[in-house]
Amino acid sequence: MKDIIIGDEHCRGKFKTIYEQVYRNLDIRYIICVGDYLDPYDPISLEQRMSFFNSIVKIAAQDSRVKLLLGNHDMHYLLPTGDKSRRDSFNAVSIKKAFFDNLNLFQIALELDEDTVVSHAGISPAWLEKHNYHSIDEVNSSILNSFVDTTKIAERSSVRYYDGDFSGYGDDILQPPTWIRPRALLYQAKDWKWKTQIVGHTRTDSVGYEEYILGKFSNGVLFNGEVVKIPVEDKQLIMVDTGDNMNYFTFGG
């Protein structure tokens, strides 16, 4: 069986386009989107944005193979994050309702096997330890429940990105799976529970990304136009295409 991992959506129609290409393949176990469903780079109407969003959740509701992960731009609406990058403050209440109406379709991370985990930005061992999370199941249940039960302050605060992040960009080992950047994640590779982490979040088509984002880890980077693979220690970080291309990553099979 194989898994299909699709990078950040941002109202590109990327997920639906790829899904329609692959869904008939009965050899597929999961079709995963790593998050950031709204907040497009180019301004479009709320009606258009919600049309993209609703098409994704409709597919997920009908096909149990579809797994929708949450990203930092989704936290703009699920949590009181304030005005962040491209957040639609004017329509935030109605957008939040759209997420809450479909909350059962979303999760923070997904383990593909005992050695591989997928999330929006990466699972930091330091973050797991700080918030006393012992498994991905616990991460998903605790954080999703905290969106509904606002008394669960500790669980909600565990995904409030920027908190304690002096870089302002995610280069901090205590950042959550919706916000951490590759360099901070790779510094902890020896402590990963998994051999492989698969992430989106950080655009790999940006000028200078290797030097700034990866730092000393840029040596040995393998880029094939579809994914960036970074081997370090005995582990591997796979960064899926989060740009405008309709690329996706096939794991296993």
Side-chain-side CA neighbours of residue 168 (13 Å): 2
- Look at residue 150 in the predicted model and tell me its pLDDT: 84
Report d(CA 182, CA 169) in Å as an integer: 11
Residues 6+ apart with CB under 8 A from 69: 32, 33, 34, 35, 106, 107, 108, 109, 110, 118, 119, 120
- Look at residue 208 in the predicted model and tell me its pLDDT: 61
Work out the angle at residue 112's Cα, subtended by the Cα atoms of residues 108 and 117, and round it to the nearest 5 degrees. Answer: 50
- Look at residue 85 in the predicted model and tell me its pLDDT: 76
- Look at residue 189 in the predicted model and tell me its pLDDT: 96
- Look at residue 40 in the predicted model and tell me its pLDDT: 93
Structure tokens, 189: 């590779």
Q: Across the 253 residues of the chain, what is the mean pLDDT of every consecutive 10-residue run?
A: 96 96 95 96 94 97 98 90 76 95 98 97 96 96 93 86 64 92 93 97 73 71 75 92 89 85
Report d(CA 208, CA 206) in Å as an integer: 6
Structure tokens, 192: 């990963």
- Look at residue 176 in the predicted model and tell me its pLDDT: 94
Question: Which amino acid belongs to residue 12?
Answer: R
Question: Which amino acid belongs to residue 141?
Answer: S
The b/e string for 91-120 (b: 16+ C-beta within 10 A; e otherwise) is eeeebbebbeebeebbbbbbbbeeebbbbb
Report d(CA 176, CA 29) in Å as an integer: 26
- Phi and psi at 217, nearest 5°, equal -85, 0
Domains and their CATH numbers in the chain: 2-252 (3.60.21)
Residues 6+ apart with CB under 8 A from 127: 133, 158, 173, 174, 175, 176, 177, 180
- Look at residue 115 in the predicted model and tell me its pLDDT: 97
